[in-house]
Amino acid sequence: MPSASPLSRRPAWRALVAHREALGETHLKTLFAEQPDRYRAFTRSAAGLTLDLAKQRWTPETRERLLALAREADVPGAIGRLLDGERVNISEDRPALHTALRLPESASLVVEGEDLVPAVHRTLARMEAMVARLHTGQWRGATGKPIRDVVNLGVGGSDLGPLMVTHALADFRPEGVHGLEVHFASTMDGSQLADYLGRLNPETTLFVLSSKSFTTIDTLSNARTARDWLLARLTGERVGMPAALVMRQHFIGVSASPEKMRDWGIADAHQLEFWEWVGGRYSLWGAIGLPIALVVGMDHFRELLAGAHAMDRHFREAELADNLPVLLALAGIWNVNFLDIRAHSILPYDGRLEYFAAYLEQLEMESNGKSVTHDGRQVDYATCPVLWGQLGPNAQHAFYQLLHQGTQAVVCDFIAPLRRYDEVEDAATRAHLKEQHRLTLANCFAQSRVLMLGDEALADGDAQPSHKRYRGNQPSTTLLLERLTPATLGALIALYEHKVYVQAVIWDINPFDQWGVELGKRIAGETERILARRRGQEAMDDSSRGLIEAFWAAEAEVP
């Protein structure tokens, strides 16, 4: 038998095991009956967000014991190490300094002898200059026409963050700027790109190649297709523009590798650089956020940074017991490790947050989907749960059936803005939309209540046959934003980033690497060579061989 890990030997961990046994199967409705002021007791606010953890299946004692675990794991010290730029990304031996990207210009953060803030703000200034040229119609394509469409080519962190935020903040487009549409193409199969290439004008289209490594095959294969599409249409006999001009005017590169951008053909003046110490899934705050700045303008982009910075300050300064990221993390630890709830659903009640769950899937699962501790031991406890989600109102008509009556225990995060539509000019439309907002919040609050109470949500409920019964007792968190603004969205994202970090500290895993994606990339490369050469499959397993041969057979059928 391998010895127990340091975490499961901790006194606070053992105390939690005993506490969980003592709680037994106590139903959430009992916890509410025993403690009528749970909302006040379990709700905390910061940076425009209110976090209600009252519907977690826990008691004040549970929270105290979890806070003791956090102290034993030195979460306060770990917060300082992260924000001060220590090399918390152990396997890659570097800091994880996404928080430096949102420090105000007046701040200073000296890491290993260098103040990082001036370089961060130089990049922001370069972004601002590019945004200004595009917003005034001064950035022209090779034939002299102003750029009208920008297509971001990137995947994972170089796609999901900007995609999610541009969608969430589409109401914040600045007025009076030259019309510009921003699009995203990520999939290596080219489906999204093929659609854009079919309808965009090459003369007025600019591509942003976003890739921290500038080696990601998904992005580079889309980029090659885009480059050839442009060159074929703008340099041919008919239009006759020089290839170098086309490359210069139709591509921006964003990467931590300037040499690779240059080798690919991105003009020096159109490169935006960031740093190895920013993880891909934590990178929307800097140059990777260019599409965000293009949609919402640089002032709103800076508000997004300021909101995240407000959460960073709260994270550093607030007591553990009032610290939103810490509390959110501890609720997660309680669910996963003590209540054995391994599924987590993200349910925003605001259509603007359509891509928030997809964004969090990468943030949480690529960060904490790990099973080896810092000193190389296999963990003997669960880490990141399976996380997925969808807009709550739509999910009500899709998978809520399972949440209410299925056999899986699931914890849910409900996310909603308190106020909406105040700025709609037409009074009648405003009144309708506000009514829709109220309806949406009613659904949000009703769902968490039914998940919690089950049948007893109905005061006068008759006895029902078993297929109409609801057992309840499914825990949830509700996160309210005062309004959805650049600042509150920044704070919301930073909240989850820090939650992930706190959980990783307690689980003793590295949230800043992603070695689990590497083997698949290597084997895909080998497989692609086999597919292209039409040989080499013999030594493979029977299933893979069968699939490869089926592809060759399909290829052979092409007329």
By CB under 6 A, residue 158 contacts ligand F6P: yes
- Residue 122: partners with Cβ closer than 8 Å, 6 or more residues away: none
For ligand F6P, which residue of 85, 156, 202, 297 counts as binding (CB under 6 A)?
Answer: 156
By CB under 6 A, residue 511 contacts ligand F6P: no
| Residue closest to 155 by CA, chosen among 283, 334, 292, 347 | 283
Q: At what angle do helices 217-234 and 243-250 cross, to 10 degrees?
A: 130
- Count residues near ligand F6P (CB under 6 A): 14
By CB under 6 A, residue 98 contacts ligand F6P: no
89 forms beta bridges with: 94
> Of 397, 425, 538, 557, which residue is the catalytic one?
397
Positive or negative, the CA dihedral 429, 433, 434, 439 is positive
> Of 303, 364, 366, 497, which residue is the catalytic one?
366
For ligand F6P, which residue of 28, 69, 131, 155 counts as binding (CB under 6 A)?
Answer: 155
User: According to the 3-state scheme, what is the secondary structure of 369-433?
Assistant: CCCECCCCCECCCCCCCEEEECCHHHHHCCCHHHHHHCCCCEEEEEEEECCCCCCCCCHHHHHHH
Report whether 286 contacts 116 (CB < 8 A).
Answer: no
By CB under 6 A, residue 157 contacts ligand F6P: yes
3-class SS at 338?
helix
For the segment 22-81, give every residue that binds ligand F6P (CB under 6 A): none
Is the Cβ of residue 146 or residue 369 nearer to ligand F6P in the bound state?
369
For ligand F6P, which residue of 62, 503, 514, 537 counts as binding (CB under 6 A)?
Answer: 514
By CB under 6 A, residue 367 contacts ligand F6P: no
Catalytic status, residue 366 = yes
Is the Cβ of residue 446 or residue 524 nearer to ligand F6P in the bound state?
524
Is the Cβ of residue 283 or residue 474 nearer to ligand F6P in the bound state?
283
Q: How far is the CB of 521 from ligand F6P (least distance, A)?
A: 7
Catalytic status, residue 521 = yes
Q: How far is the CB of 270 from ligand F6P (least distance, A)?
A: 18
Is the Cβ of residue 486 or residue 511 nearer to ligand F6P in the bound state?
511
Positive or negative, the CA dihedral 433, 434, 439, 440 is positive
**What's the rounded Cα separation, in Å, for the pair 133 and 154?**
22
**What's the rounded Cα separation, in Å, for the pair 502 and 390?**
25
Q: At what angle do helices 324-333 and 486-507 cross, to 10 degrees?
A: 50
From residue 280 to residue 319, the character string flagging contacts with ligand F6P as x (rule: CB under 6 A) and all else as - is xx--------------------------------------
For the segment 183-222, give every residue that binds ligand F6P (CB under 6 A): 211-213, 216, 219
By CB under 6 A, residue 345 contacts ligand F6P: no
| Residue closest to 389 by CA, chosen among 349, 343, 358 | 358
The catalytic site residues sit at: 366, 397, 521
Q: Which residues bind ligand F6P (CB under 6 A)?
A: 155-158, 211-213, 216, 219, 280-281, 366, 514, 517
